[in-house]
Amino acid sequence: MQLLQISNLEQPEVLRLKNVWKTYPGGYQAVKGISFCIRRGECLGLVGESGSGKSTLARCLLALERMDEGEIWLNGRPLHKLTSAQLYQARREMQAVFQNPSGSFNSKLTIMDSLLEPIRCQNKGCPSFLGSPGMSEWKIASSLLERVHLPASYLDRYPSELSGGQKQRVAIARAISVEPSLIVLDEPTASLDVSIQAKVLNLLKDLQEELCLSYLFISHDLSAVHFMSERLTVMQRGEMVDVCEGKDLFDSR
């Protein structure tokens, strides 16, 4: 694909954070003046020990929590200036894959209904990367499962019938279904068996290259971050303490 041969520096910005702060009641400052950008097709790694503020920053970015100060731009649109109704619409351009796949699903919905829920809510229709706008819902759902290497026979199952790795693959399929501008990956392999982690990381990498996806990859696993990310930002006690090219960080170890 010709697009993937273009340097990330020549790609448009998908996300820009500028001086983002978040303080909780009692005065605890979880995020202190964080700034960075992510371009189309790029994966930015966000690393730091537990309690460093990574997940709080992600929740502010996804508008699951209100930041106290700062700017967040998505595709040039100022999320920090939008009304609640406008923000609800804009945040649809972002999707997330969290650490615990079991908590990402309604146990009463089949895998097919879980996959189609974002598409139905957004009235998106068939994802363009599947090729045919006239696809039936069953065909859309089965094609999404195929993208994450799961058989169509899983569509009639419930989340409790799938392993952790299988549920995380479904969560990834659901995230790409509405063709988001950005996917936030918050410790997406931390709860999986070691034997499954590499397969999920390879899947994420393949989808990124195939669909030119933009990721914010949050983890404390440096080897996973090294594999996934072109650039790294390091958080400590709510602050950004370092930004570097992935290869530079690991070459210096």
Q: Judge contact between 61 and 93, C-beta under 8 A.
A: no
**How many whole angstroms separate alpha carbon 144 and alpha carbon 109?**
17
**Looking at the predicted structure, is the pLDDT value of residue 249 above 60?**
no
pLDDT of amino acid 4: 38
**Could you state, in order of their start, the residue ranges of all structural domains in the chain?**
12-251
pLDDT of amino acid 150: 98
Rounded to two decimals, what is the model's pTM?
A: 0.91
Fold of 12-251: Rossmann fold (3.40.50)
The mean pLDDT of the chain is 90
- Please give the helix or strand (H or E) that residue 226 lies within, else none: helix 222-228
